[in-house]
Structure 1
Amino acid sequence: MVNIYLIRHGETILNKEHKIAGQIETELTETGKNQAIQTALNLKKQGVSFDIILCSTLKRAKDTAKIISEHIKTSLMEIDDLKEINSGDFEGIALDKLHEICFNPPYKSGGFVFYNGQQLREMYNLMLPEYDDIAQPNGETKAQARERFMNAIKQFLDAHPQVQNLGVVAHGAVIRFTLLKICPETVKEKIKNAEFRIIKYEKEKGFFI
């Protein structure tokens, strides 16, 4: 059985500005760097060690992973499929501005029509299962992003059966989508910057809590 620590990157400039980052690059703030250090110290205090840390190829995840790896003394591997969901036309847009660009005429996807920004924010934040196959304009669906993310971890672990403790530094949305798939009770749980959640993996059983 493998213990997997899913760690969100530290605060970024776009996080601070309440904008959707998706797959565009954004730097860690000083707060974000300090959050990563504190997470590393907390993990170390708990006696956590990693055989390796995997991280997204986006800079905010790489920088967070580097800080953690320097404190825990382990190696890093970048995997492109651990990136955040592709939010398409919404990347770089402030959350409170979405209604100004999406709903005149209403945007339709997957048989569902968004009539106002509040519906979209509820879909994005609560991630209800019935919205699993809806994409933001020119972006990925939650299902596509989740399967990409989970398959990347699975393929790595199946190819490296000696790994028992794995760190994965990635992004808020894909981590939440993964948790929702494994444990639907986490639907309203928000993961703050540099926080982590622990899941487990067995080749025969798959991912579980």
Structure 2
Amino acid sequence: MQILLIRHGQSEADLLNVHEGSADYPLTEEGIDQVNRMAKRVLKEFPPDFIWASTQKRARKTADILADLIGCPITYLTELREHDNGDLAGQPLDEVPFPWGLHPHEKFGLTGESAIEFRARGEQAFSYMKKNSTEYKRIAIVSHGGMISRIIESFLGLPCNHDIFFKTDDTGIHLLEYKETGRSILFSNSSTHL
């Protein structure tokens, strides 16, 4: 089975320069254009048989555009939403810097998820999607940069605490593959459609 991991397009949070995470901003016009270009590429090069998508506006719209163009079924999972950054969501990045240096068990802001909680949610979501996608040769997962990183960590079997970062640009695509002989990352963060 192949797994396309696709990040949503540009959102209004990018223009506002605020912490996004659990804040639910929609796509910008540029974001919608990015998604349309990505969807045409996916249709031509590696169309999925099924799409799983986050319920947050920016990812949901991205997945809807892709599903409409390809003509395949879609299921939305709240577990695919971005890192719950609690009271940091929507706060200006200039005024409230990103909280680098937190221990894996420490929550983001006063009410958000810790890195361990986020990783566990990603592992559970990935396991659920794999279990419920065995009839498909290729699926797409449309989500967010943080969740895509959690899924790649799960795919690679990385420990919860590590210093590896998986970058995903707006509408960036990663292609993972399971074969009888093992697992492969065929490409990562491809955005040649832009």
CA shift in 2, pair 1:150/1:44, >3 Å: same
Larger Rg: 1
* 1:166-207 deviation line (CA, Å, top 9, x unaligned): 10110111112333452769924421111111223479x7x7
* 1:77-103 deviation line (CA, Å, top 9, x unaligned): 11111111100111001222115xxxx
Q: Secondary structure at the match of 2:95?
A: helix
Q: Alignment partner for residue 80 of structure 2, among 61, 79, 82? A: 82
Matched, 1:195 2:194: no
Which residue in 2 is equivalent to 1:155?
A: 128
- d(CA) in 1 for partners of 2:184, 2:83: 22
- How is 1:93-172 mapped onto 2 (pairs within 5 angstroms)? 93-99=91-97, 120-121=99-100, 123=101, 131-137=103-109, 138-172=111-145
RMSD: 2.7
- d(CA) in 2 for partners of 1:186, 1:178: 16
CA shift in 2, pair 1:80/1:202, >3 Å: farther
- d(CA) in 1 for partners of 2:57, 2:11: 10
Structure with bigger helix share is: 1
- d(CA) in 2 for partners of 1:186, 1:6: 21
Q: Secondary structure at the match of 1:168?
A: strand
Any conservation in 2 of the 1:179–1:186 contact (CA below 8 Å)? no
Which residue in 2 is equivalent to 1:173?
A: 146
Identity %: 25
Q: Which consecutive unaligned segments of at least 5 residues does structure 2 have?
A: 186-194
Which residue in 2 is equivalent to 1:45?
A: 44
Which residue in 2 is equivalent to 1:128?
A: none
TM-score normalized by the length of structure 1? 0.75
- d(CA) in 2 for partners of 1:95, 1:208: 36
TM-score normalized by the length of structure 2? 0.81
Which residue in 2 is equivalent to 1:20?
A: 19
Q: Secondary structure at the match of 2:108?
A: coil
The amino acid that maps onto 2:49 is D
The amino acid that maps onto 1:34 is D
Any conservation in 1 of the 2:50–2:74 contact (CA below 8 Å)? yes
Q: Which consecutive unaligned segments of at least 5 residues does structure 1 have?
A: 100-116, 125-130
Any conservation in 2 of the 1:54–1:168 contact (CA below 8 Å)? yes
Q: 1:208: how far off?
A: 5.9
- d(CA) in 1 for partners of 2:115, 2:22: 14
The amino acid that maps onto 2:18 is K
* 1:92-149 deviation line (CA, Å, top 9, x unaligned): 01222115xxxxxxxxxxxxxxxxx6xx34x48xxxxxx4333212111222222212
Which residue in 1 is equivalent to 2:30?
A: 31
Q: 1:65: how far off?
A: 0.3
- d(CA) in 1 for partners of 2:147, 2:129: 17
